[in-house]
Amino acid sequence: MKKWVQIVMMVMLSVFSLQAGFLEMERQKALKENKLILLTLEKEGCPYCIKMQKDVFGVPKFNQHIAKNYLHVSINGEDPTLPQALHVKYFPTNLILSPRDLSIVDEFAGYSDPLNFIELLDIVYTQEFK
């Protein structure tokens, strides 16, 4: 039984390390490209998450506009290995992270129509890089 618990703990630590490493790669890339990180926390089966993917992230013109100033990363917000700061109540939640220290610059919870969402992202980017 002890061995089984050790195996489960090792797997959980490996998953967390992979996520942390993945975010670290995005952080380095964002620093080089003078971009912010847009981290979308989604929940499987969430109708608003699906709508946001379809209406915003799935539309090439919006996706290209976002890519000018942001590195976009989507993750499962219900993953128990996420750091406590990333545990959210509402889905989707979009966190804007500073590439300097991965601190949360701003956050938007729930669905937002494409034009308002893009406008919010533009405002945050402008304020961060004055």
What does pLDDT average to over the chain?
A: 86
Alpha helices in the chain (DSSP H): 2-33, 47-52, 60-69, 114-128
Tokens of residue 87, six digits? 């545990």
What range defines the domain where residue 6 resides? 2-128
Of 13-22, 31-40, 43-52, 100-109, the one with minimum mean pLDDT is: 13-22
CATH number of residue 71's parent domain: 3.40.30.10
Is the pLDDT higher at 122 or at 23? 122
pLDDT in tens, 46-77: 999 999 999 999 999 999 999 999 999 999 99
Report the predicted TM-score, pTM, of the whole model to 2 decimal places: 0.81
Strand partners, 75: 41
Count of the separate structural domains present in the chain: 1
What is residue 12's predicted lDDT score, i.e. its pLDDT? 41
Q: Is the pLDDT of residue 31 over 70?
A: yes
pLDDT top residue among 38 and 17: 38
